[in-house]
Amino acid sequence: MADGASGKLAADFRRAHQALISGGDPVAGRQQLVELTRQIVTGCDWAALTSWPAGRRPRLLAATGTVPQLLTDAEYDAGDGPSLSATDDEPSWIPDLYAETRWPAFVDNAVDRSPVRSAVMFRLGERPEHCTFGLYAATSWALDGSAVSVGALFATHAAVLLSHADASLNAVQVHRTLATSRRIGTAIGILMATHGVTEDSAFAMLQDASAWLDRTLRDVADDINRSVDRTDDRTDDQADDLPD
C-alpha cells in the first residue's frame, strides 16, 4: 500500500474510533468499519462483523450486503468452519474455497449457497460471545497474503470498537441502575414517613403493591414520588392564595 493510502487508512481509523468513544452510535461505527474494509482491502468484496453466541445461531453486527450472512449460515449448519476454528493468534485463511480440505461440510454448503470463493476470518475474543471479523471475495486467491495483513489491522480496530461499545453499554446500565435505586429509595422514605413504618416494612409494602398491580417496583415507586410532588405543588398553591 502506498504511503498516501496508508495515511488515509490511519485517518479513517482515527475518525471511526473518535466517533465511537465520543458518544457516537456503536452500530454506525461498526458499519463504517466494514465499509472501510471493503473499500480499502484489495480483493475484498464483502466484510462482516459477526457474533457467535453459544448454542444459538450467529448474528451479524455489521455487514456489507447479504452475502456474509449466507456464508455464516453455511458454517453454522455445517457445525464447523473458519469462524469457529480461528484463534486469537491465527486467523482462518481460505485463499481458494475449491481447494479447501479442512472443513468439507462447510465447503459444500458455502459453494452451493454463496458466491464466496476466498475468505479470511479473524477471531476477536469472547466479550462474552465469540466474535469474528470476516473478509470475503468472489474470486479464488483474491484475498492474498497482503489482504490478510491489512485485514488484520481492521480486525484489531474492530476489537477496539467492540470493547468501547461494551464499556459504554456497561456505563449506561450502571447509570440506569443507580437512578432506579434512588427512585425506589425515595419512595420507601415516603412510605416510612407517611405510615410510620420501618424501612423493611416500607419495602414490603412497595413489593406488595408491585405484585398486586402487576407493575415493576420502579413504576410503583414513580407513582408514589409523583403523588408527593403533586401534593407539594397544591400546598404551595394554597400558601400563595393566603392573604398577606
Distance (Å, whole) CA 148 – CA 41: 9
Distance (Å, whole) CA 159 – CA 141: 26
Contact 29, 162 (CB under 8 A): no
| pLDDT band at residue 238 using 50, 70 and 90 as cut-offs | very low
Domains along the chain? 3-166 (3.30.450.40), 173-239 (1.10.10.10)
What is the average pLDDT score of the chain?
79
Q: What is the pLDDT of residue 79?
A: 94
Distance (Å, whole) CA 165 – CA 240: 51
| pLDDT band at residue 229 using 50, 70 and 90 as cut-offs | low
Q: Are strands 118-123 and 59-63 parallel, antiparallel or unpaired?
A: unpaired
pLDDT above 50 for 106: yes
C-alpha cell at 56: 444459538
Q: pLDDT: is 56 or 223 the higher one?
A: 56
**CB atoms near residue 21 (< 10 Å):** 15
| pLDDT band at residue 242 using 50, 70 and 90 as cut-offs | very low
Distance (Å, whole) CA 185 – CA 193: 12
pLDDT digits (tens, 9 = 90+) for 198-222: 877 777 787 777 777 777 777 777 8
Please write down the HEC assignment for all residues of the chain. CCHHHHHHHHHHHHHHHHHHHCCCCHHHHHHHHHHHHHHHCCCCCEEEEEEECCCCCCEEEEECCCHHHHHHHHHHHHCCCHHHHCCCCCCEEECCHHHCCCCHHHHHHHHHHCCCCEEEEEECCCCCCEEEEEEEECCCCCCCHHHHHHHHHHHHHHHHHHHHHHHHHHHHHHHHHHHHHHHHHHHHHHHHHHHCCCHHHHHHHHHHHHHHHCCCHHHHHHHHHHHHHHHHHHHHHHHHHCCC
**CB atoms near residue 197 (< 10 Å):** 15
| pLDDT band at residue 4 using 50, 70 and 90 as cut-offs | low
